[in-house]
Chains A and B, each alone.
Chain A
């Protein structure tokens, strides 16, 4: 197991990233906490080494996405209908923030991750493909569909950067 120092450093570096990915997948705080803890527990027990900080971050993101997917496939979640509410955030949300989150959360789960990584983390489609271990063309397709839906929901002009 990694040292407490390493684990603490990783938590400080990546806690917000993990939290945000959980935000769009998991509906309530308790489940978010479970996923969050599992991600860092996996980090703590991961025996491999990371080539670079970018490699480490990409690993964390992939594990978080997988943990969220596993949670969503779990027995409990598949059979319990939860209210469609946004999880709590530390900073109070503006109405527009809520609107944006609702729009993002309404996307297919594979598109949510692409949107977050593309718009917030600033990854290119190629980098997203490497992080999520997907085909780059698949990522382009997912991003394209996500953009179209978000435009529809949020009513924005198409002013975003293209790869």
Chain B
């Protein structure tokens, strides 16, 4: 029986055609083949890149807060979650000339503000007539408080620098009218007090002029940055609640 079974199976062979077709089949598979493990690795790698890219974007490039810096030149900075300036814009022509001369991108916001305020181009604007208004608009209260604390501490010794927190809604309104934040709040206050003023007028006026328009008796006290304050702050020459009195 053994011999008969051997003889029977000896008649069975794989044909050359079958072998060749099999080789072609396997070769074609190898060209298109991406093993499941490779596909999984590739998918995981792509997912990792996407995650890192998204995370990186959220950390480095997504603005989480904004700071409005208004003197007369007015600037707006967008700040990321690391406190770095990721973009900044000039809100008026005077500011445009200044931002072209400074480099503050990815600087810490406090350093960026300092760089601008101490730049040569800014000096002509930092006189006794002008105060510096810093408005912080953060994505949440904690971020805002932290930034305000930092800025208040930085300019604690300098009169004429006013730091305050803003809100998103007002910032949106200011943006719609193309006014810097602090200027917009003064404009809004003026209109709410029945003082007729156009947006264009507000845009062209300095912060001091707007404050004077709001309250002629409460001129700003100088900015302190040039150590020349005091002329408007209580020397008696211009203070007083009523019409000017000749002394």
- A interface with B by C-beta (< 8 Å): 1, 4, 7-8, 11-12, 15-16, 18-20, 23, 33, 36-37, 40-41, 44-45, 89-93, 96-97, 100-101, 104, 115-116, 119-120, 147, 150-151, 154, 156, 159-161
Within 1-55 of B, Cβ neighbours of A (below 8 Å) are at: 1-2, 4-15, 18-19, 21-23, 25-27, 29-30, 33, 35
Compute how far the CA of A44 lies from the CA of B21 in the bound complex, rounded to whole angstroms: 15
- B102-116 residues with Cβ-Cβ distance < 8 A to A are none
Q: A16 vs B16: C-alpha distance in the bound complex, in angstroms?
A: 11
Q: Contact between B13 and A160 (Cβ–Cβ < 8 Å)?
A: no
A19 partner residues in chain B, CB cutoff 8 A: 12-14, 18
Q: Known: A36-B14, A89-B11. Contact between A120 and B5, CB under 8 A?
A: yes
In the bound complex, residues from chain A placing their C-beta under 8 Å from that of B14 are 11, 15-16, 18-19, 36
Q: Can you list the 5 inter-chain pairs with the closest CB atoms, starting with the nearest?
A: A15-B14, A91-B11, A100-B8, A19-B14, A119-B5
With A11-B22, A44-B26 known as contacts, the answer to whether A89 contacts B35 (CB < 8 A) is no
Contact A4:B27 (CB < 8 A) given known A11-B22, A15-B14: yes
A89 to B10, alpha carbons, bound, how many Å?
Answer: 10
**Interface secondary structure of A, over-half rule:** helix
The residues of B that contact A161 with a CB separation of less than 8 Å are: 2
Residues on the A chain within 8 Å of B26, using CB: 7, 37, 40-41, 44
**Distance, CA A111 to CA B25, complexed state (A):** 31
- Which A residues are in CB contact (< 8 Å) with B35? 1, 45
Bound-state CA distance A29–B42 (Å) is 38
> Which chain B residues border A97 with CB–CB below 8 Å?
7-8, 11
Q: What is the chain B residue whose CB lies nearest that of A91?
A: B11
Q: Is the CB of A115 within 8 A of B23?
A: no
Chain B residues with CB below 8 A from A100, complex form: 4-5, 7-8
Q: Give the interface size bracket for B toward A.
A: 20 to 34
B21 to chain A, nearest CB (A): 7
Q: List 11 A-B contacts (CB under 8 A).
A: A11-B14, A12-B19, A15-B19, A36-B22, A40-B26, A44-B26, A91-B11, A93-B11, A119-B5, A156-B4, A160-B1
Chain B residues with CB under 8 Å of chain A are 1-2, 4-15, 18-19, 21-23, 25-27, 29-30, 33, 35
Neighbouring A residues of B29 by C-beta, 8 Å? 41, 44
Candidates A41, A90, A154; contact of B11 at CB < 8 Å: A90
- Judge whether B13 and A90 touch: CB under 8 Å: yes
Query: CB-CB < 8 A to A151: which residues of B?
Result: 1
Complex CA gap A60/B152 in Å reads: 79
By a CB distance below 8 angstroms, the chain B residues around A4 are 23, 27
Q: Which of B2, B4, B9 contacts A20 (CB 8 A)?
A: B9
Complex contacts, B15 vs chain A, CB 8 Å: 90
Cβ–Cβ < 8 Å partners of A23 in chain B: 9, 12
CA distance A120 to B25 in the complex (A): 29
A1, A15, A41, A119: the one contacting B1 at CB < 8 Å is: A119
B4 contacts which chain A residues (CB < 8 A)?
Answer: 96, 100, 154, 156
The interface residues of chain A lying within 8 Å CB-to-CB of B21 are: 33, 37
CA distance A1 to B23 in the complex (A): 13
Give B10 Cβ to nearest chain A Cβ, in Å: 8
